[in-house]
Amino acid sequence: MLALLGIAVVLWLVMWVLPPRMVGFVPTTVDVEIGESSWEEVAPAATHCTDPGPLAYVEELAQPLVDEANSEFEFQFVVVESEEINAFALPGGFVTVNMGLLEAAENGEEIAAVLSHEMTHVTNRHGMRAVMRRLGAVTVLSVMFGGTGLETIAYAAEGLVGQAHSRDQERDADDGGRELLMAAGVDPIGMATFFERLEEEYEAMPEGMRRGFAVLSTHPDPGERAETTREIAAGFTATRDLPDPPANLRCHASDEPSGEPADDDQP
């Protein structure tokens, strides 16, 4: 009986405890390989906004954050045609923003708050830790030494989209996101106002209509997080004003396979 218990403990350590702790031994180039391999699957080119406005606006908001982050990851952004109020980041710096998020935000500070949160998930390698926990360190390490397994790992990364990070990781991303915003001179209050407003709208809706609020379902305790942000923001003076979402932002996806141009405007 004791022998079986010992085996169970060892398996638990090997499968769940040790893999995330080994992230530091994995080169960040593996994060990039995994993120790049899975990005096309979770945000296919056919869903990308063909209108240049949304992406240009997101990149304008993100640039001060990227500059301050000074990360070894080269952040890349894309806006997709989706009504869900959400954004997500894959390992390596690949960030997808849903058009629904841009439409729900009242100002640039709210969108920047979401971007800074997702960027912190990347820089702190939360997604990579989840991949290693899901597949185990052996599969991930095989990529480092030229073995097979990248496709398997990329598939695992795709499965992480829409799944909640741990509470500790969410707090970590909030803390890092606020620090990044303030370092860029941006008022972090947007992190509070955005989630407070969405929570009010979410609670007022019938359950069958709550599907579009994915950002709340994957980010727990909005009230507590907003309160913490308000306390921190109260003593901060912003030095950078971000532009509000342009009223004429539009997003039309190509609805064509990757690389095929849209023909919606053809006579």
Token pair in block for residue 155: 């598939």
Question: Mapping DSSP to helix (H, G, I), strand (E, B) and coil, where does residue 251 land?
Answer: coil
CB 67 within 8 A of CB 184: yes
pLDDT tens per residue across span 24-33: 778 898 889 8
* Mean pLDDT along residues 230-258: 87
Res 162: pLDDT: 56
CB 38 within 8 A of CB 155: yes
How far apart are the C-alpha atoms of 18 and 224, rounded to whole Å?
Answer: 31
pLDDT band at 12 (very low <50, low <70, confident <90, very high): very low
Q: At what angle do helices 108-123 and 126-135 cross, to 10 degrees?
A: 50
Res 25: pLDDT: 76
Res 72: pLDDT: 95
Question: Mapping DSSP to helix (H, G, I), strand (E, B) and coil, where does residue 191 land?
Answer: helix
- Please state the domain extents for the chain: 2-233
Burial class (CB in 10 A: 0-12, 13-18, 19+), 163: exposed
Q: At what angle do helices 137-144 and 28-42 cross, to 10 degrees?
A: 100
Residue 247: is its pLDDT beyond 80?
yes
How far apart are the C-alpha atoms of 87 and 95, rounded to whole Å?
Answer: 7
Residue 240: is its pLDDT beyond 50?
yes
Residue 244 gets which letter from DSSP? P
CA distances from 221 to 62, 95, 113, 166, 214 (A): 25, 23, 16, 12, 14
Residue 78 pairs in a beta bridge with: 96
Res 260: pLDDT: 42
* Mean pLDDT along residues 145-164: 58
How far apart are the C-alpha atoms of 135 and 65, rounded to whole Å?
Answer: 32
